[in-house]
Structure formats: C-alpha cells, structure tokens
Amino acid sequence: MKKELLFKIINGLKGNERSLEDNSIEIDGVKYGITNFKEDGWDDEGKYQYNTEKGQLCSYDDKWNIIEVFDFFLEQNVSRSGSYFSDYYYDYDDINPYTLEKVIVPEQIIPAHYKDKIVYISK
C-alpha cells in the first residue's frame, strides 16, 4: 500500500468522528476498516475519561469479509465526558499510523531474540 493511500484512508476515517472499531471508509470501490481491535480501558480522571484504541488496517468485501490485512496499525486517543446516567460526549484525537519492526535483542543473560518495535509513520 502506498503512503498516499494510507493517509487518504486515515483522513476519511478521521472525518467520521467515530470509534476506530465502528469506523470504515470506501475509496475507489474498496472498503477499508479495522481488525484486531483493542482498547486500553478507560482512565477516570474526574470530569474526563481517557482511552486509547488500536487496530490493524484491512480491506473488506461487500459482505464485510476480510480480503486483505495490511502491515499498518492505527492508534487513536479518545476522551469522554458525561456520566453513566446521562449521555457521554466523545472527542477523538488524530489517528496515528504505525508499523511494527522486528529488532534483535543481543544475548545477555538470556539467548538473543527478536522484539517488536513500534515505528510511527509521518506524512
């Protein structure tokens, strides 16, 4: 996937003002969305609560079956205010793309092994 298409997808997802989990966009007849969705859980800091959502970019067919899973991951910070007893109001930060890079950890006490390193992608 080209970097230009990646950022076109991100800009489209960002414009929807929705959770990454429920978000999708169609570009040139291809539907893009998120798979392997995870969230950190809400941190309660009084009036506001904060959460980080992460997922892997993929493409879908017309019946929402996954066609291709890409090596790009998306991360978005979310804050909300309100209450369990009333409505929550959500604010979505920019979507940050990243990829995972394997790095070798040299032998010290344990044998050498690989570890995933997050590499953020800039425009």
Residues in the chain: 123
Residue position matching structure tokens 């609560």: 49
**One-letter amino acid of 1:** M
- The pLDDT tens digits along the chain (123 residues) read 788 999 999 988 887 778 888 889 999 999 999 999 998 889 998 889 999 999 999 999 988 899 999 999 999 999 999 887 888 899 999 999 999 888 888 877 888 888 888 888 887
What's the pLDDT score for residue 3? 87
**One-letter amino acid of 79:** S
The phi-psi region of residue 62 (left if phi > 0; otherwise alpha if psi is between -120 and 50; otherwise beta) is: alpha
What's the predicted TM-score (pTM) here? Answer: 0.78
What's the pLDDT score for residue 9? 92
